[in-house]
Structure 1
């Protein structure tokens, strides 16, 4: 109690301020409640990604393998399948890990966007040098609580813009996953091709060795000139050089594949798979209708929505916010007090956020133009990849059905005739070179076909066999 029997008004005043502060804090905490599954996104231990846009069919093609693979699974030491390589890349690719962190960054920004402004408490002393005086001229203490109240739906619009930005981060992550899977598939095909080429060169070395042995025997028997034996040895040395080159190419291809999951030293022994035969192709028109599934294009729907949300947010900033003040003053000597309350609002005479609104509108126009450019770019890339695919398809078909059977038959006939003395050694070398070149060309055509098919799948966001089935 004070000297005049009145309660201590400063104590009551502080109690009122404390209650008002607690109420404001409770309201502020209700501004945004993060989803339960993302509540750990800001903890020291990384949380799993809980948000991502709809996956493309190309991603779902490998999703089962990725989900069924333990998080700590190491690279196999024996045979490596394409699914295993894709799962390893999705789990351990360092670039993907960086993109996943960007999604968590945007989750945190959504959380921040939903928070209310903090209240402000101020304490001010007046006339402190006149502590002996009574009344208004004496010393006094003023305590004031201020709260900024946002109008125009700013918080809701801010959250919406942050959520769309988070969706864009998810699309960027999706695009990177598609690119990584494409890189894995192409690197895996390169390893398969290098393995087959090495086997082909080893077969050629064996043939050259057999021919050299036959020539040596015929020279010893005096049936042909020793010059022919020299030629056979030169041919054998030449294919040994090709063998060394094929081994180095395989080593390089293996390292490039291992790099997709962040490894510098491949542990697998060989890639397990078949190059396979070429299949019939859907038309370019059918594939063009599917490019909307490409995440490079699908993301632009979210991009446009985000730009529109920013326009609404910037327009809401033109609506002035109000600041509510509540407090009081106590005079030190006589215990008098005065309660004060007020409201302040800025006068939007000059700055009505015109520049930022205009900037957001131009950003929307820019995004619309960029979407059209992306559509043209993807359609052009699809046409180029399809032409490469069709050319490789035609080349592989002709080589398999016409050239390879003829080259094999000619080599078998010449080789048999050489043993019987009907053909010269040059004829054997020529037939052998023709067969090897034909097999090498067929392998190169198969490699080009599957590499181009993988690129087409990336552009349409769907496996070719699925697109082919839709066209039938």
Structure 2
């Protein structure tokens, strides 16, 4: 139990340390600097990017429970569901929360240190020795050179980097959802096309069988018709399996293993004119993979400032008192200590931080080249698919359909043989399959280009090339 004088001295020491600590760093400033996630300007602006609004404009509200969709689904509903339930996206959001906690930790002051020491506790009571004494001392490390402010700033920029990484992953998820949704639409169309082909093959086989029975054609034609029918049935089975695989791939985007929806609803045939590559290239700075480097470079510079501040020695102040048990007298004890920065002035860490800044600048340049190259490749696929889809729709499909109708009608009238019908049928359905592939490639390329420019494709059409 401390005596009253020592208790008073200890109380005064605590008040002094608190006063010095408050002067060294203001907690209110730390609270304002370490804003919660929804108040960070970068993250706030990211949530309003046009590419994300594309999926929110007509997105229906999701039920609070049992978010597994059923019945017919549209892209907007699937995108909203994936943003809520994608497991990889959830992991990235936890990283942001962890960085937010790091900002809080960076703003905390060093803890004071209490030291209680007894002297001459077991002496022989000789006159040359003083009596037992108790010393109570409180010490506080005071960080100089703005270390805490610089530490908080660095932590905040690191948190913003986590926000950019989350944004990049979120746009990746939306792109994956779009491409998977397009794959389901394409697989549904392929299945419908295979079913139509089977029905036509069955009709042709029935017609050939009747003509064989009537003696108007050779039995060999009937065998050929049955072989063709078996072939298209195999294609139907493959189309069914491809659709099931595409459905599971889409369901995986919202963390589901077994899809519960019935059908994806959308228009693959919607093809719009595309902007030029030069127009698109002016928007690549909106790409989160590229936009993040401005924050990365600022964070690297903040790290340099933080390492330089560590070269400034910190001050330790102490205050307390000593009480002598024999006489009841007491004395005040105060002290200041400061390290002498003779050898270690944090030179190595400062140099390493400067090298990291140079590395970040080079990585930014490399990312810009990578994004521009990826945009060029994606644009070539987009332009090729657009041209192919347009040509097939306006030139190839009408001619193939007209030829098939004429040959099919002539076959029933006995003007054409079975091989002519089979050839016209195969040409028509190959053209339809090619058109479907072109449409699928077009829409998936649109999703990829929008990912690279960080905006909707229509946004580039009004830009002067």
With the length of structure 1 as denominator, give the TM-score of the two structures: 0.92
Per-residue deviation, residues 377-412 of structure 1 (Å, max 9, x unmatched): 000000000011111111111111111111100000
Matched with 2:221 is 228
CA contact (8 A) 2:176 2:253 kept: yes
Structure 2 CA distance for partners of 1:343 and 1:65, relative to 1, 3 Å? farther
Aligned to 1:14: 10
Q: What are the Cα deviations for residues 16-55 of structure 1, in whole angstroms up to 9, with x where unaligned?
A: 234445556766772654369967xxxxxxxx85542522
Q: 2:302 pairs with 309, 312, 320, which one?
A: 309
Cα distance in 2, alignment partners of residues 131 and 207 from structure 1:
117
Preserved contact between residue 96 and residue 163 of structure 2 (Cα < 8 Å): yes
User: Is contact 2:141-2:314 (8 Å) kept?
Assistant: yes
Q: Is the 8 A contact 2:10 2:138 kept in 1?
A: no
Q: Distance between the aligned counterparts of 2:408 and 2:34, measured in 1?
A: 72
Using the TM superposition, name which of 337-346 and 258-267 deviates more: 337-346
Match runs of 1:247-396 below 5 Å = 247-396=240-389
Q: Which moved more, 1:28-37 or 1:177-186?
A: 28-37
Per the alignment, do residues 59 and 73 of structure 1 end up closer, same or farther by CA in structure 2, a change over 3 Å counting? Answer: farther
Alpha-carbon distance in structure 2 between the residues aligned to 1:89 and 1:253: 16
Instruction: Name the CA distance, whole Å, in 2 between partners of 1:18 and 1:53.
Output: 42
SS at match of 1:121: strand
Question: Which 10-residue stretch deviates more, 436-445 or 29-38?
Answer: 29-38
What's 2:27 paired with?
A: 30
User: Which range moved further: 304-313 or 276-285?
Assistant: 276-285
> Deviation of residue 70 (structure 1)?
4.8
The alignment partner of 2:320 has SS state of strand
Number of aligned residue pairs: give it: 458
Q: Partners of 1:75 and 1:131 in 2: how far apart? A: 84
The answer to whether the 8 A contact 1:131-1:333 is kept is: no
Question: Is the alpha carbon distance of 1:418 and 1:66 closer, same or farther for their aligned partners in structure 2, counting shifts above 3 Å?
Answer: closer
Match 1:113 to one of 100, 106, 124: 106
* Deviation for aligned residue 1:11: 3.8
1:170 is matched with 163
- 1:66-91 deviation line (CA, Å, top 9, x unaligned): 69445546122100100011001000
Structure 1 distance, partners of 2:395, 2:273, is 18
TM-score normalised by structure 2 residue count = 0.94
1:449 aligns with 2:446: no
CA gap 1:71/1:350 in 2 versus in 1, 3 angstroms: farther
| Distance across 2 between alignment mates of 1:114 and 1:206 | 73
User: Unaligned regions of 5+ residues in structure 1, if any?
Assistant: 1-6, 40-47
Secondary structure, counterpart of 2:261 in structure 1? coil
- Say if 1:140 and 1:330, in contact at 8 Å, map to a contact too: yes
> CA distance change for structure 1 residues 26 and 64 in 2, over 3 Å: closer, same or farther?
farther
Displacement after TM superposition at 1:463 (Å): 1.1
Is residue 90–residue 261 contact of structure 1 (8 Å, CA) maintained in 2?
Answer: yes
Q: Distance in 2 between matches of 1:11 and 1:400?
A: 93
* 2:336 aligned counterpart, secondary structure: strand
* Cα RMSD, aligned residues only: 2.2
**Separation in structure 1 between the aligned mates of residue 86 and residue 4 of structure 2, nearest angstrom:** 67
* Alpha-carbon distance in structure 2 between the residues aligned to 1:368 and 1:470: 28
